[in-house]
């Protein structure tokens, strides 16, 4: 037995080639054939190159790999086929993306089929006058992508109107069943079966921008006298003075483009002056209307006046002194409940032209507030104490009042001239639009209680109807209806002037 087989424990090779090698070596002399050595070295890696002997007795020779089973070969073929199909599908999706997606995100297979009109239910619509079929529940955007109508997209514009990018505006404009579809809603607006849809060129859009508001003008206070109204040096000019127009601050929006860096004017608000109109009341068609007014209330006389007015079905206007309201709150509530008009006569009957800004505004605001608390009645109407008011009073008022009422007939009842004189003073020179002044407080008013029925009867006998001042102003169409309102607070967007016009 050869040396390389004799050492150690002999493990019989399981490979036929190894067995042949052992047999061959036994029948030859100790001189080994080069062929045997080569074969042994090839079949047994554990033999040394020099001696041809094993490097260890515990190592088995490497077996010759068995041929692959048929099932494994079939599995490989299947994997190759599947890989080819995957590559083919990917190529098809890429082609669909290029042909149908036009550079958009890669669509899925179902989306490609939908765009091609295969797979899934379709409905008929009228598109630009022609019948077409689209996948059910398609949006306006999807119909546009599928049909590709020949429209031109809008441009991207700078804040000053220059073109920053052609075709970078809205892709199209759409009208669905007669209603314009905002471009931002095109992707969510479903096109129903039988709908009429049309596309047209897209709108331009403006670049994003930042903005700031710049003041361009401030209002001034302007006094105007209506045609036919006589100026007065001492007392209020005109039977009524009212805010004809509220002042507004002029401003403009300055926009700075985020892309172009350009600046341009945006929204512009035109400023306007505040106008105080002095005007006598002239009812349309000379309708016989007269207003009865009472100053210096409320007092203990108020309820008696209300009883007389109710007996003759007459409405009047009561101008209240603020500091007296809480003590006669019930009388104020009864006055309002009878649909009479209520206004301010100052907190404590001051001459308004002598007051500074803060005191004047307190006189107005405090009286309006106490009337509101007593009777839940809103008013911004006043009668200036002594009938004295000028443009400077209006300027200092800060917009707290909207209407000042004077008179045409002064009873002079405060002089206690006697009942006949009071009646005569209140009924002389009757004319449509007359305003009668009487007093509810400030002294003994027993003469007024006796004179009032006679005054009412005289005017009614002449064909006149008694109304509130608000109703009397409303009868004159030259006075804007909103200006006649008892309560007219300054609008939020108005600005009160700080100076008079020249």
Is residue 260 included in any domain, yes or no?
no
Overall average pLDDT of the 322-343 stretch: 98
The answer to whether the beta carbons of residues 420 and 384 sit under 8 Å apart is: no
Domain identity same for 362 and 466: yes
Q: How many CB atoms lie within 10 A of CB 356?
A: 9
Q: How far apart are CA 41 and CA 404, in angstroms?
A: 129
- Within 246-320, strands assigned E span 250-257, 263-269, 274-279, 289-297, 317-320
Predicted local distance difference test score (pLDDT) of residue 112:
52
Overall average pLDDT of the 330-356 stretch: 98
Cα-Cα-Cα-Cα torsion 91, 97, 99, 104, nearest 10 degrees, comes to -160
Is residue 234 included in any domain, yes or no?
no
One DSSP character per residue, 168-190 reads -S-S-EEEETTEEEPGGGTTT-B
User: Residue 291 burial by CB count (10 A; 0-12/13-18/19+): exposed, middle or buried?
Assistant: buried
Residue 342: pLDDT over 80: yes
Domain identity same for 291 and 437: yes
Domain identity same for 296 and 187: no
One DSSP character per residue, 200-245 reads EPPPPEEPPEEEEEEEEE---EEEEE-TTPPP-SSS-SSSEEEEEE
Residues found in the chain: 502
Residue 324: pLDDT over 70: yes
Of 497 and 79, more confident? 497
Is residue 161 included in any domain, yes or no?
yes
- CA distances (Å), origin 373, targets 320, 340, 379, 443, 498: 14, 17, 12, 26, 31
Is residue 111 included in any domain, yes or no?
no
Predicted local distance difference test score (pLDDT) of residue 96:
54
Is residue 165 included in any domain, yes or no?
yes
Query: Looking at residue 197, which CATH number applies to its domain?
Result: 3.10.20.30
Q: How far apart are CA 145 and CA 364, in angstroms?
A: 67
The yes-or-no answer on residue 295 being catalytic is yes
Predicted local distance difference test score (pLDDT) of residue 73:
67
Residue 234: pLDDT over 80: no
With cut-offs at 50, 70 and 90, classify the pLDDT of residue 457: very high
Q: How far apart are CA 161 and CA 205, in angstroms?
A: 10
With cut-offs at 50, 70 and 90, classify the pLDDT of residue 69: low
Predicted local distance difference test score (pLDDT) of residue 81:
84
Predicted local distance difference test score (pLDDT) of residue 162:
95
Query: Per residue in 248-280, pLDDT tens?
Result: 999 999 999 999 999 999 999 999 999 999 999
Task: Look at residues 47, 65, 83 and tell me which one is the last residue of a structural domain.
Answer: 65
Domain identity same for 302 and 366: yes
Predicted local distance difference test score (pLDDT) of residue 428:
92
Query: Per residue in 172-188, pLDDT tens?
Result: 999 999 999 999 999 99
Predicted local distance difference test score (pLDDT) of residue 412:
97
Predicted local distance difference test score (pLDDT) of residue 88:
78
Contacts of 264 (CB under 8 A, 6+ apart): 158, 159, 160, 161, 254, 255, 257
Domain identity same for 153 and 298: no
Question: Cα-atom radius of gyration of the chain, to the nearest Å?
Answer: 52
Give the range with max mean pLDDT: 1-10, 85-94, 299-308.
299-308
With cut-offs at 50, 70 and 90, classify the pLDDT of residue 171: very high
Domain identity same for 174 and 293: no
Catalytic residue, chosen from 145, 155, 280, 295, is 295
With cut-offs at 50, 70 and 90, classify the pLDDT of residue 84: confident
User: Residue 234 burial by CB count (10 A; 0-12/13-18/19+): exposed, middle or buried?
Assistant: exposed
Domain identity same for 148 and 287: no
With cut-offs at 50, 70 and 90, classify the pLDDT of residue 299: very high
Overall average pLDDT of the 84-89 stretch: 78
β-partners of residue 398 are: none
Domain identity same for 369 and 471: yes
Would you call 47 helix, strand, or coil by DSSP?
strand
Overall average pLDDT of the 412-437 stretch: 97
Overall average pLDDT of the 486-491 stretch: 98
Task: Look at residues 206, 240, 260 and tell me which one is the last residue of a structural domain.
Answer: 206
With cut-offs at 50, 70 and 90, classify the pLDDT of residue 34: low
For 213-217, the CB contacts below 8 A with 24+ separation are: 213/251, 213/252, 213/253, 213/254, 214/251, 214/252, 214/253, 214/254, 215/249, 215/250, 215/251, 216/250, 216/251, 216/252, 216/268, 216/271, 217/249, 217/250, 217/271
Contacts of 296 (CB under 8 A, 6+ apart): 319, 321, 345, 349, 439, 440, 441, 442
Q: What is the pTM of this model?
A: 0.66
Is residue 49 included in any domain, yes or no?
yes
Overall average pLDDT of the 297-325 stretch: 98
The answer to whether the beta carbons of residues 331 and 372 sit under 8 Å apart is: no
Domain identity same for 60 and 128: no
Catalytic residue, chosen from 145, 439, 440, 476, is 439
457 token code pair? 């009867």
Is residue 87 included in any domain, yes or no?
no
Of 50 and 437, more confident? 437
Domain identity same for 30 and 144: no
Q: Which residue intervals of 255-407 are DSSP H helices? A: 302-311, 329-337, 357-375, 391-397
Q: Mean pLDDT for the chain?
A: 86
Domain identity same for 324 and 465: yes
Residue 293: pLDDT over 70: yes
Task: Look at residues 65, 87, 111 and tell me which one is the last residue of a structural domain.
Answer: 65
Q: How many domains does the chain have?
A: 3
Residue 441: pLDDT over 80: yes
Domain identity same for 323 and 417: yes
Structural domain including 178 reads: 121-206
Start-to-end CA distance of the chain, whole Å, equals: 140
Query: Looking at residue 384, which CATH number applies to its domain?
Result: 3.20.20.370
Is residue 366 included in any domain, yes or no?
yes
With cut-offs at 50, 70 and 90, classify the pLDDT of residue 356: very high
With cut-offs at 50, 70 and 90, classify the pLDDT of residue 7: very low
The yes-or-no answer on residue 439 being catalytic is yes
């Amino acid at each position: 037995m050869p040396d390389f087989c004799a050492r150690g424990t002999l493990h019989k090779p399981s490979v036929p080639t190894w067995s042949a090698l052992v047999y061959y070596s036994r029948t030859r002399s100790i001189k080994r054939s080069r062929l045997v050595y080569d074969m042994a070295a090839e079949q047994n890696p554990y033999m040394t190159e020099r001696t041809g002997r094993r490097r260890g007795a515990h190592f088995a020779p490497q077996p010759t790999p068995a041929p692959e089973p048929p099932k494994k070969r079939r599995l490989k073929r299947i994997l190759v086929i599947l890989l080819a199909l995957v590559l083919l599908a990917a190529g098809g999706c890429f082609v669909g993306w290029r042909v149908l997606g036009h550079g958009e995100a890669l669509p899925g297979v179902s989306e490609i089929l939908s765009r091609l009109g295969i797979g899934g239910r379709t409905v008929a619509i009228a598109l630009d006058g022609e019948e077409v079929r689209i996948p059910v529940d398609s949006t306006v955007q999807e119909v546009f992508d599928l049909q590709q109508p020949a429209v031109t997209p809008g441009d991207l514009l700078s804040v000053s109107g220059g073109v920053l990018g052609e075709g970078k505006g809205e892709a199209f404009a759409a009208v669905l069943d007669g209603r314009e579809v905002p471009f931002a809603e095109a992707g969510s607006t479903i096109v129903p079966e039988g709908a009429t849809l049309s596309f047209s060129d897209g709108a331009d859009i403006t670049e994003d921008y930042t903005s700031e508001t710049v003041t361009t003008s401030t209002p001034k206070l302007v006094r105007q006298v209506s045609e036919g109204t006589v100026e007065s040096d001492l007392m209020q000019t005109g039977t009524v003075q009212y805010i004809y127009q509220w002042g507004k601050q002029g401003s403009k929006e300055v926009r700075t483009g985020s892309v172009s860096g350009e600046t341009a004017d945006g929204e512009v608000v035109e400023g306007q002056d505040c106008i105080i109109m002095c005007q006598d009341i002239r009812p349309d068609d000379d309708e016989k209307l007269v207003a009865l007014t009472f100053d210096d209330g409320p007092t203990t006389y108020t309820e008696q006046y209300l009883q007389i007015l109710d007996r003759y079905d007459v409405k009047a206007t009561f101008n209240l002194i603020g500091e007296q309201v809480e003590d006669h709150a019930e009388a104020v509530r009864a006055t309002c409940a009878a649909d009479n008009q209520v206004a301010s006569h100052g907190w404590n009957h001051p001459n308004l032209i002598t007051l500074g800004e803060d005191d004047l505004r307190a006189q107005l605001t405090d009286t309006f507030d106490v009337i509101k608390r007593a009777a839940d009645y809103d008013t911004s109407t006043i009668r200036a104490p002594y009938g004295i008011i000028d443009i400077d009073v209006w300027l200092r008022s800060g917009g707290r009042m909207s209407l000042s009422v004077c008179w045409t007939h002064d009873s002079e009842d405060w002089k206690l001239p006697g009942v006949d004189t009071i009646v005569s003073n209140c009924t002389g020179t009757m004319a449509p639009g007359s305003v009668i002044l009487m007093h509810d407080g400030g002294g003994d008013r027993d003469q007024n209680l006796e004179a009032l029925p006679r005054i009412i009867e005289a005017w009614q006998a002449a064909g006149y109807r008694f109304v509130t001042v608000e109703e009397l102003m409303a009868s004159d169409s030259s006075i804007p209806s909103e200006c006649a309102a008892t309560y007219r607070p300054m609008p939020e967007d108005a600005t009160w002037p700080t100076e008079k016009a020249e």
